[in-house]
Amino acid sequence: MDLLSPIKDHHSEKRLFISRVILSVVVGMVLLGTVVARLVQLQVVEHEVFAEKSAGNRVRIEALAPNRGLIFDRRGRVLAQNLPAYQLELIPEQVPDLTDTLRRLAGLGLIDKEDIPRITDLSNEGLRFKPVTLRFNLSEDEIANFAIQRPRFPGVDLQPRLVRHYPNGLDVAHVIGYVGALSSSDMERLDRTEYAGTSHTGKTGVEYQNESLLHGGAGYQQVVTNARGRQVPADPSDLAQSTLQRVAPRPGTNLHLSLDLDLQIVATQSLAGRRGSVVAIDPNNGEVLALVSTPSFDPNVFALGMTRSDFNELQYNLDRPLFNRAVRGTYPPGSTIKPMLSLAALEVGATNLTRKTYCPGYYSLPGSTHRYRDWKPQGHGEMDLHDAIEQSCDVYFYEISRQIGIDRMHFYLDQFGLGQLTGIDMVGEKAGLLPSRAWKRGAFREPADQTWFPGETVIASIGQGYMTATPLQLANATATLAARGARFVPRLVAATEDPISGERTIRSPRRLSDVQIDNEFYWDSIIAAMNGVMQGEAGTARAVGRGAPYSMAGKSGTAQVFTVAQDETYDEEEVEERLRDHALFIAFAPLEEPQIAVAVVVENGSSGSRVAAPIARAVMDRYLGHATDAL
């Protein structure tokens, strides 16, 4: 054994070192090759892709909101427009003390104290360089007041904007509707791309129904930004230029309505202080000339923004100013259906033009002691069909209802559009109710409640019981009477207009199936009786029709709000105002060539002839170019 063997093996260590160096060089070369390959891929192969992404980080696309289309009446008068206005805006990052700034603005009356928490949340949640709107549409005094105080409010400034404005807001609120701030539910049904730069949308009426036309198309512009997203000049030598490319928005389509602003104003003034509705239609084509519901509201406050308390005041008002009675209010039509029912009775042979019925002031079904009372307690005496319409004799119609029957009554009244949607170009319309045996079988669960009783036919003959109709339906039915059975779909939009070229596109009337009354003489007879209502010696509305420079036809109606027991008397002066009868009236004129058909409903007005008829006369006088002292 060699006890002097070496402690270190220099050759082995050298070989190990060299092998490690070679391995390190190989690994380094592989890693370097990977880096070079990746650089080649990024800078050569995918150069265009990453160049676009880089430009995207540098350029921000901002949406440009289009100008909303204008709305005009039939004579070209503006009903909805866009006006320049100044709004107060705040840029959070430029405000040293947000709480103190808002408090001082509230002290100047430029914002409401109750809005401070909302504004604070908006300022803290969004990008700090994005403006937050504090107030819309400042008055001249408020603008002047802030201009003086501006140095005290860094980060707060006035900015010009376009806001929706309704010059005759109260007169057209329910038919034109209003625009309001976009909500989450709005964005679910709208194209987010088109509305990226828009803050408001149509909420009700024509504004909502025609939103796709009125809104127009959004534009965009490319804005140069820095790493924090702030706008910077595209060219450092031109500090004012920060936009690379701009595509102008397409303005919304203008609408020309069939409405007559004069009629809207007259109808609104005539209903002042009352809850009710007036609808006027051209019987020759279905154009809606007036559509009014009162009480009304100012639609401008929705476009400008309103506080929650202001909205609640409207929403929970007992008189329901936000409720569109013209298309959504359903009322028993009362005696206004008698002319239509008379045509049905003549057509099916339930009566004729010479048959007379004695009216003692009440009617009883055979074998029954129950009395269905006439509006005239002492009775009308001997009545033929003409007299029964002219004097609105209930007993005459009680009697013939037995021969007509509820199902044939339904068949003919349905042809006049009762109990169904009219199809008007406005959302939210109610269909009303036109009862029949089949309807009752489907409306009630209990078999005992599904039976149709003879007494229900009796009260249906004077437009009571289950039967209800909207003022729009009554006006449309009246237009059908005036046109002797010709029917049209009521419409508001008469034409659309390209805002750039000015080219108009006229919308044609939509005609429906005519009412199935074969004998033309029946129309003559019933219309003559309606003329007697207003201009006959015994007509129920003769006081209103007297002295008119044109011939007219009409029919009054009174609809009970609550049931009076058979042995009780009804004294309207002793009954609470909201429990009094509704007053209704339908009319058209001139008699020979009708140009306008009107329906009036006055809630709790008590008398159709005394309260509702003068309103119809005022509307017809205005449209036909005659002064009136009927009101």
Can you tell me which residue has the tokens 């033309």? 520
d(CA 222, CA 242): 8
d(CA 167, CA 265): 12
Q: Which residue intervals of 41-83 are DSSP H helices?
A: 47-58
Torsional sign, CA 174, 177, 180, 183: positive
Burial of 94 (0-12, 13-18, 19+ CB in 10 A): middle
Asked if 12 is an active-site residue, the reply is no
d(CA 453, CA 459): 11
Question: What does the H/E/C string look like for 378-437?
Answer: CCCEEECHHHHHHCCCHHHHHHHHHHHCHHHHHHHHHHCCCCCCCCCCCCCCCCCECCCH
Burial of 144 (0-12, 13-18, 19+ CB in 10 A): exposed
d(CA 630, CA 169): 26
CA angle centred on 611, ends 606 and 612, rounded to 5°: 105
- Structure tokens, 597: 């058909």
What spatial distance separates the first Cα and last Cα of the chain, rounded to whole Å?
142
One-character DSSP codes across 309-349: HHHHHHHT-TT-TTS-HHHH--B--GGGGHHHHHHHHHHHT
d(CA 549, CA 245): 65
CB 419 within 8 Å of CB 407: no
Q: Classify residue 103 by its DSSP letter.
A: H
Largest CA distance in the chain: 157
d(CA 196, CA 65): 8
Question: What does the H/E/C string look like for 571-608?
Answer: CHHHCCHHHCCEEEEEEEECCCCCCEEEEEEECCCCCH
Amino acid at 408: R
d(CA 275, CA 295): 6
Measured in whole angstroms, the distance separating CA 458 from the mean position of its chain's CA atoms is: 37
Active-site hit among 123, 335, 401, 436 = 335
Measured in whole angstroms, the distance separating CA 190 from the mean position of its chain's CA atoms is: 17
One-character DSSP codes across 454-479: HHHHHHHTTT-TT-BB-HHHHHHHHH
From the list 391, 597, 361, 563, the residue with the least C-alpha distance to 479 is 597
- Whole-number CA gyration radius for the chain: 37
Annotated catalytic residues are 335
